[in-house]
Chain A
Amino acid sequence: MSLDQQPIVSRNPSPAAPPAPGADAVLVARDLSVWYGSTQALRGVSIAIPRNRITALIGPSGCGKSTLLRCFNRMNDLIPGFRMEGQLGFDGDPVAGPEVDPVTLRRRVGMVFQKPNPFPKTVYHNVAWGARINGYTGDLDELVERSLRRAALWDEVKDKLNRSGLDLSGGQQQRLCIARTLAVEPEVILMDEPCSALDPISTARVEDLMEDLKAEYTIVIVTHNMQQARRVSDMTACLMLDEARGNGHRPGVLAEFSPTDVLFTTPKDPRTEAYITGRIG
C-alpha cells in the first residue's frame, strides 16, 4: 500500500490547476472518507499538499476541514467512533494503519489548535517540554530561544521565561503554541483556525510568521476568513457539503483545489464561486 507507486489521481481538482510547479506533495489523501459513528464527515477526498507551501482549507462550517486536518496527524484516533477509508500518505509513507506509530508521526506533523492551549507551565517549559520528551540531546536553552525567535515572540517574553504561559495575552499564547510546535522540528504544521480567537494585530503577526516559516515548513491552515486565505496561502482547497444522503446528513467533499489566485479569481466549481462570493456559508 505504498503511496508513491501510482501517480496521484485527484478526482476533484481540475486538470488546469496542478500543484504549484516545482513543489512535490508532502501530504496526500486519496479517496478519503471519514465517519464519526454513523455520520459521515468526509467523502472521497483526494488532495496532494505541496511541500514548502501554505495551503488553505476553506469551506462552510461542518464541512470537515478540521476532520481532514486531524487525519494527517492521526489526532482523530482520539475520537470515539472515528473510522476512515481510503489512503493517507506523508512523505510517501502511509499515515494510517496499525503499523504506523502515531507518536512518531505527530512529532513530524505538528499542530496548532483553534484556541491557544499553552501548558499550565512556565513559558520555558512550554517550549522545552516537547523537545525533552522526544529525547532532544542538544542545548535546550538555545532551542527555546531559537524557537521563540522563530515564532516572533522572543522579545516579548525573554524576561518572562519563568512566568506561567497562561499569563500571556491571547495572541502571545498562540505564538507560544507555535513556538512549542517549532521546537520539535516538524516538517509540516497543521493550523486549525489559529487566528479565530485573536485580535487583528495578533492575527497579522501570526500571518507574517507563517510567511517566514514557509521556507522551512509545509503549512496547512484552516480558516473561515477568506481574506486571510487570499493573503497567506499559495494553494486553496475549498470543501463543501455534499448533497443530502438518505439520513439527511451531508458529508463534506472537496469541491476545488487550485492555486489561491486562480481559485479566488476564476473558480471552476460553481459551489466554490458561490461560497467565496458569500452566497453559501
Chain B
Amino acid sequence: MSRASDALYRPRRGLRRALGAGFAGLCLAATLSGVVVLVVLLGAVLVKALALPPNPPWFAVGEQLRELAAFLSRIASSTNSPNPELAGFKAGIIGSLWLLLLVALIAIPVGVGAGLYLEEYAPAGRLRRAIQTNIANLAGVPSIVYGILGLVVFSRAFGFQALALGKMLWAGALTLSLLVLPIVVIATQEALRAVPPSLRQAALALGATRWQVIRDHVLPSALPGILTGTILALSRAIGETAPLLMVGAANSILFPPSGPSDYYTALPVEIYNFATLPREEFRSVAAGGILILLGILLSMNAVAIFLRTPTGQRAASRAIAQLGRLGWSGRRAGRSRTGLASAVVVPGPGASGPDSEVAQPTDQGGAES
C-alpha cells in the first residue's frame, strides 16, 4: 500500500480539515450577524410600535397582532397631528406613492432607453467608455448631493422663477428620478449583456434589422432582468429621505397631495420627523411608520425576486407578449395562424397559449472553434 514517494508527502489531514471547518464557521457567523441584526431591528421596532397602552403581555400573540394591525391601520389612515394618539402617515404614504408613480414614469423609459442605446447602438470607443464610467460613478454619489442638485435645478431652476418647481411634488419626483437613473441604466445594460449572442446571430442571419432583433428577441429575453433592476431602483427611491428634505418635502402637511403640483411629504420624511419629536409616544408612531415602509419595500423586493425565478420570467414574458399583441406583428400572427391552429394543433398537456413565449435564455454562447 505504500510507495517510496509517499515519504515526500506530509498530508496533515487533521489540520486541513480543521482549517476548512473553521473557515466555514466564520462564513456562517458573518451570515448570522446580518440575520441577527435584522431580527433585532424588527423586534425593536415592533416593541416600540406596541409601546402605546393598552399593552398586552408579550406571550399573548393573537392579541398583540390584533393590536398591531389596529395600530397600523390607524396610523395609515390619519394625517399629521400634534397629538400622538391621532397622528399618522396618510399624507406621507400617499406622497410616497405619488413619488413612486412619477419616478417610475420618468426613470424607467429614460433609464431603459439609455441602457439600450449604450449597449446596442453606441459605437465602442473612448466616448462610450467615458459615459459608462460616469454612470457607474453616479450610482455611487451620496443621495444628499442629488438633493442639492435637485434644489438648484428643479426647485429653483437656477433662479428662473417661471420654471422653478419650488416645493411641488414634481421637484421631489425629478430629483429621485435622477438619483435612480444610473441604477436603471446599469441594470438594463447587464440584462442586455446576458442575452446570449447566439440569439442575436440567429436573428441577424435571417435578414433582420437591428431594431427587429431588439424588439422581438433581445428585449423579451432581457425583460425579467430589466424589471428586477428597475423594481430594486424604485424601492431605493421610496426609502430615500435626505434628498427630499432638500427639495421641499415638508414635515407638517395635513392633506395628502392630490396631484404632482401639490405640496407633499413622504413616508420616510415623516418617520424622521416623528422620531425627532421629544415626546416618547411619537417614537411608537415612528416605529409604526417604519413597519409600513418596510412592508412596502419588502413586497417590492419580493416581486423582484419572483421575476428572477423561471415561473416569474415566463409570467413576465407572457404579459409582454399580450402587450405586444397591440403591435403589428402580434395582430398579424393572430389572424393568419387561426386556420392552421384549429386544423392541426392539438396542444399537449402543459402546452401554453399560442402566443406564449418562453424567454429563458439558454446559454448557447456563440463561441466557435
Contacts and interface: CB of A to CB of B under 8 A. Distances in A.
Given A73-B205, A120-B221, A113 B357 contact: no
Given A115-B364, A117-B199, A120-B357, A61 B206 contact: no
Given A159-B346, A162-B354, A78 B201 contact: yes
A141 B337 contact: yes
Contacts of A181: 205-206
A189 B167 CA distance: 64
Given A66-B368, A78-B204, A133-B208, A120 B345 contact: no
A163 B362 CA distance: 16
Interface in A167-194: 177, 180-181, 184, 192-193
Contacts of A73: 205
A230 interface: no
A160 interface: yes
Contacts of B212: 133
B333 A117 contact: no
Contacts of B54: none
B5 interface: no
A160 B204 contact: no
B204 to A, nearest CB: 7
Given A120-B359, A125-B333, A141-B340, A104 B207 contact: yes
Given A125-B333, A161-B344, A162-B354, A113 B206 contact: no
B299 interface: no
Interface in A100-135: 103-108, 110-111, 113-122, 124-125, 128-130, 132-134
Contacts of B351: 160, 162-163
| Interface residue SS majority, chain B | loop
Interface in A43-72: 61-62, 66
Contacts of A213: none
A161 to B, nearest CB: 5
B252 interface: no
Contact of B207 (A103, A115, A117, A140): A103
**Interface range for B:** 35 or more
B10 interface: no
A130 B213 CA distance: 10
A116 B351 CA distance: 22
Contact of B202 (A103, A117, A145, A192): A117
A162 B205 contact: no
B202 A177 contact: yes
B369 interface: yes
A23 interface: no
A78 B210 CA distance: 11
Contacts of A120: 199, 220-221, 357-362
A144 interface: yes
A144 to B, nearest CB: 7
A75 interface: yes
A106 B358 contact: no
B360 A166 contact: yes
Contacts of B198: 113, 115, 117
Contact of B358 (A61, A141, A166): A166
A162 B336 contact: no
30 contacts: A73-B205, A75-B201, A105-B207, A106-B206, A106-B207, A110-B206, A113-B202, A113-B368, A116-B364, A117-B199, A119-B202, A120-B221, A120-B357, A120-B359, A122-B356, A133-B208, A133-B212, A133-B329, A141-B336, A145-B340, A159-B344, A161-B344, A162-B345, A162-B351, A162-B353, A162-B356, A166-B360, A166-B362, A184-B207, A193-B369
Given A103-B207, A121-B357, 5 more contacts: A75-B204, A106-B207, A114-B368, A164-B357, A184-B206
Pairs of residues from A and B, 9 with the lowest C-beta to C-beta distance, nearest first: A107-B207, A141-B340, A130-B206, A117-B198, A111-B205, A164-B358, A106-B207, A140-B336, A117-B202
Interface of A: 61-62, 66, 73, 75, 78, 80, 103-108, 110-111, 113-122, 124-125, 128-130, 132-134, 139-141, 144-145, 158-164, 166, 177, 180-181, 184, 192-193
